[in-house]
Amino acid sequence: MEAPKTWHDAHKESSTFGQRLADAVANGMGSWRFIIIQTVIVGLWMGLNVIAFIKHWDAYPFILLNLLFSTQAAYAAPIIMMAQNRQSQRDRAQADSDYQTNVEAKKEIEQLLERLNSIEIDKLDKIISMLEKI
């Protein structure tokens, strides 16, 4: 028998390739690994251009590097916004799931309280009938 799907599994299965790609890119760009790798690449880029003996492919003030950063930012911003929208959708799905769980738990608790009350009433009736016999 297959286990029931959680809200997260159902939400994940309903996402498109583009949505999954946006999530993966945003997760990658929002990591220390990305920052460290980019810092190393930028440091190498600048260092090689400063100490280059023969050809500076991007001499100071590193205009090509600035163009690359601008292009990266132009694409990164909407991708990160898409991922944030997906996160808010996931949050709403989780909140709905939590609400449904709470509603069901409340119903079960109310049923248990009714059952306990009926058991208590039955016990009291039995005690009263035993006392009347005495």
What letter would DSSP give residue 61? T
Query: Do 25 and 83 touch, CB atoms closer than 8 A?
Result: yes
The larger pLDDT score, comparing residue 59 to residue 8, is at: 59
Report which secondary-structure segment, H or E, holds 130.
helix 63-133
Predicted local confidence at residue 103, as pLDDT: 96
* Structural domain includes residue 105: no
Does the pLDDT of residue 94 top 80, yes or no?
yes
Q: Percent of the chain having pLDDT more than 70?
A: 93
Place of tokens 């945003």: 26
Q: Amino acid identity, residue 88?
A: S
Place of tokens 């993966």: 24
* Structural domain includes residue 83: yes
* Structural domain includes residue 106: no
Number of residues written out for the chain: 134
Q: What is the pTM of this model?
A: 0.60
Mean pLDDT of the chain: 87
* Structural domain includes residue 5: no
For 76, the domain range is: 15-99
Domains: count for the chain: 1
* Structural domain includes residue 126: no
Beta-carbon-side half-sphere exposure of residue 9 (alpha carbons within 13 Å): 4
Does the pLDDT of residue 100 top 80, yes or no?
yes
Cα-based angle 5, 9, 11 (whole degrees, multiple of 5): 120
* Structural domain includes residue 122: no
**CA distance linking residue 84 with residue 19, whole number of Å:** 11
* Structural domain includes residue 110: no
Compute the average pLDDT of residues 48-56.
81
Cβ atoms within 10 Å of 45's Cβ, excluding its own: 16
**CA distance linking residue 50 with residue 98, whole number of Å:** 57
